[in-house]
Structure 1
Amino acid sequence: MNFAVVEDSRSQAEVLKALLKGEGHQVEVFAEGKACLEALKTRSFDCFIIDWNLPDMEGSDVLKHVRQTCGWDVPVIFCTARTDEEAAADILRAGADDYIPKPIRYMEFMARIHALLRRRKPRGGTLAFGGIEIDLESRRIRLAGVDVDLTQREFELAAILLQNIGRVLSRDELLSTVWARDTGVDTRTVDTHASRLRKKLGLAGESGLMLSSVYGQGYRLDTVQGG
């Protein structure tokens, strides 16, 4: 998943980034709220971690813009040095899903992240990433507005990759998810289908997305800056 960390403390932001990347997530750090809002014009994020007090604007203003731009299904967690009950109520009333008091206890932080992601509603309908648009209900996928002809398994593999951008998915996980009812297939099947998708959907960067093989682990689909 793709996380946005909005935190002006560089050391704090780097620790959070390392924790999340250790779980296979993609992380982009912003030292100011305005930089995050500017990024939202061209990029999408699956979860936001925001400092309540930022140097250029209030964290609540960042949250308001996130809700207007990304909707209410995207999890938002605030980090704050204020630990009083009134502060907690203000943060939650503003539309945050949860908050973490500073100094951050990192095991608790990751546990809260996992809990939020478990509760997150599965995404349905139409999703758009870079030049790719996928309709999960009608099972159609387009590249630059043109329908792409995929087999059933190719579509299912594309769907799981697109719903987990920035996350490393193991070959065994992909095999058990996409080919659960098939017998006599092995991880080489995943490699073959991944190669086909890379060509059909421009996943070497042409579409704004890059499908990479992570040595010894599996595959990861990432957005390409400026794509």
Structure 2
Amino acid sequence: MSDGAPQTRILIVEDEPKLAQLLADYLTSAGYYTQMIGDGREVVPALKSAHFDLMLLDLMLPGRDGLEVCKDVRAFSSIPIVMVTARVEEIDRLLGLELGADDYICKPFSPREVVARVKAILRRSPQQVQAQVESKLKIDEAQFKATLNGQTLDLTPVEFRLLKTLSASPGRVFSRQQLLNTLYEDHRVVTDRTVDSHVKNLRRKLQQANPGDELIESIYGVGYRFTL
């Protein structure tokens, strides 16, 4: 029996035919219906004429690039979008553009990793994810207090703001610079590695209240995201 629901539809927007077919083969084997598009100009008409549950969107496309396509799609659809790029350093720029993508994958990648990411994104709706987070993590901004599994977290003001930012958008990838912009009210000049130090301390405190689960995931070369 396949893992994916038979009616779950994935739109693959990729101009390299062999790579697009490889992704389609793996996703089809996982039980998903797939459709492939190789030109950026065809994406919006395709989404408006048929229902899709998720889109894999390459950054470099003929006709219209992935950035323009993503902006156009977000104007009328909340379909989960996984952006695909050949450069890991490009992801930081994409994050800064606030395009509304749900995840980012760098080439070269393992098709199995793509399937796993697709399953994870489709498994739960944003509302369900947020409800699950809120059932375990309570944040009281008025009292500057946070509890996890009923246990009060002894957080510094910076750690509190870091946790609040990450947990407000579970699954979203934040670059270090984006997190830095939320951490210090006086906008002091600090290095992006400062975030790593705060994340390390926050992780340790979260582990004490929630043993065995890593709630803050590191995204190599990019930043962090909150998972539950």
Given the two structures, how large is their TM-score scaled by the length of structure 2?
0.49
TM-score w.r.t. structure 1 length?
A: 0.49
Structure richer in helix, relative to its length: 2
